[in-house]
């Protein structure tokens, strides 16, 4: 039997995705090239190819240092002092995330710092990205998010919080909640940011998730900043009202397979629609309507 070109391209692409999730970047890059050679249109899965390329280029230029049972970093082998300082920030951030979300890490978090901003021009995100791999929880940060004394701590907290949510909720948290928790953790429980322009398009959980997931919005733009601030504010409100342990219980129930709205009802002892009603009121008040 001969494979058609489309089938062959699809198989190579599937293989590239699998190898990338296993963090086997050399092999993933080869599979990606094979997919394009077999006729995969360049526009298709472009981000996967660029992620593989950026992560592979970083791996070739980096050293990997295991800092603890739960944390490994992959950084350029430049100045030792810089690496020590970065490691300190990362370790503190991971400790804070562990505590904030009551996480038991099933495998180490791998923090990868991409050394060249030209490799990550495709990343339009608040800081970088998080992706579950088969033996690591991988956080990738571009140079702009790795500034010592600047955003590095916030970036580590935000992306490691995604790793924590993915772990506790088993990848089942809705996007608005995932981002809301990341923003809440990133700002040490006190999310700031203007939500004045949020009415009416982000006025429900589903609308907010849709906006954050859609391709229409650039995640480093103004609309995204409003969505992040709003999601963070909602999570903060829940944590203040019912306590952080209710939030943990909610995530654990989602992780055990309960639909998130029902899990909310059980963890917070009230229906989610009441929260959503208050959410709309918050947006109206912020907009002065
Ligand atoms: Zn995020």
**Confidence category of residue 266, pLDDT binned at 50, 70, 90:** very high
Of the candidates 263, 197, 270, the residue with the CA atom closest to the CA atom of residue 228: 197
On the question of pLDDT at 265 being above 90, the answer is yes
Q: pLDDT digits over 95-148, tens only?
A: 999 999 999 999 999 999 999 998 988 888 889 999 999 999 999 999 999 988
Give the domains, in start order, of the chain with CATH numbers: 5-45 (no CATH), 63-168 (3.30.2010.30), 175-286 (no CATH)
CA of 93 to the centre of ligand 1 (A): 15
Give the Å distance between the CA of 182 and the centre of ligand 1: 6
| pLDDT value, residue 271 | 95
Averaged confidence pLDDT in the chain: 89
C-alpha torsion sign, points 271, 198, 131, 158: negative
Q: How far is the CA of 176 from the centre of ligand 1 (A)?
A: 9
pLDDT, residue 2, reads: 56
Q: Region 195-209: what's the mean pLDDT? A: 78
Label residue 255 left, alpha or beta by phi (over 0 means left) and psi (-120 to 50 means alpha). Answer: alpha
Please give the distance, rounded to the nearest whole angstrom, from the Cα atom of residue 205 to the centre of ligand 1.
16
Compute the average pLDDT of residues 77-86. 84
Rounded to the nearest angstrom, the distance between the alpha carbon of 188 and the centre of ligand 1 is 15
pLDDT tens per residue, range 143-191: 999 988 879 999 999 999 999 999 999 999 999 999 999 999 999 878 7
Q: Compute the distance from residue 5 Cα to the ligand 1 centre, in Å.
A: 37
251-262: average pLDDT:
98
Q: How far is the CA of 126 from the centre of ligand 1 (A)?
A: 6
Q: How does residue 59 score in pLDDT terms, banded at 50, 70 and 90? A: very high
Q: Look at strands 137-141 and 109-113 and give their pairing.
A: parallel
**Ligand 1 geometric centre to CA of 162 (Å):** 7
Rounded distance between C-alpha atoms, residue 230 and residue 176, angstroms: 9
Cα 180 to middle of ligand 1, angstroms? 8
């Amino acid at each position: 039997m001969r494979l058609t070109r489309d089938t062959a391209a699809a198989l190579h692409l599937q293989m590239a995705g699998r190898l990338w999730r296993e963090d086997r970047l050399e092999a993933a890059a080869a599979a990606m090239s094979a997919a394009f050679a077999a006729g995969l249109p360049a526009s298709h899965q472009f981000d996967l190819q660029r992620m593989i390329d950026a992560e592979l280029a970083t791996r070739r230029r980096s050293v990997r240092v295991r800092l603890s049972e739960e944390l490994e970093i992959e950084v350029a082998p430049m100045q030792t002092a810089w690496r020590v300082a970065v490691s300190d920030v990362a370790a503190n951030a991971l400790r804070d995330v562990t505590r904030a979300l009551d996480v038991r890490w099933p495998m180490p978090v791998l923090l990868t710092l991409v050394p060249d901003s030209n490799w990550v021009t495709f990343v339009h995100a608040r800081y970088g990205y998080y992706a579950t791999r088969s033996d690591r929880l991988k956080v990738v940060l571009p140079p702009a998010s790795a500034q010592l004394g600047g955003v590095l701590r916030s970036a580590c907290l935000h992306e490691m919080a995604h790793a924590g949510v993915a772990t506790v909720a088993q990848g089942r948290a809705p996007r608005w909640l995932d981002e809301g928790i990341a923003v809440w953790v990133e700002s040490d429980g006190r999310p700031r940011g203007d939500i004045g322009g949020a009415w009416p398009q982000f006025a429900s959980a589903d609308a907010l998730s849709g906006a954050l997931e859609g391709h229409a919005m650039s995640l480093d733009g103004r609309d995204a900043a409003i969505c992040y601030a709003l999601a963070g504010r909602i999570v903060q409100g829940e944590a203040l009202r019912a306590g952080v342990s209710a939030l943990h219980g909610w995530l654990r129930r989602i992780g055990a397979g309960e639909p998130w709205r029902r899990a909310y009802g059980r963890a917070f002892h009230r229906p989610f629609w009441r929260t959503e009603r208050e959410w709309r009121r918050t947006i109206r008040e912020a907009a002065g309507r």
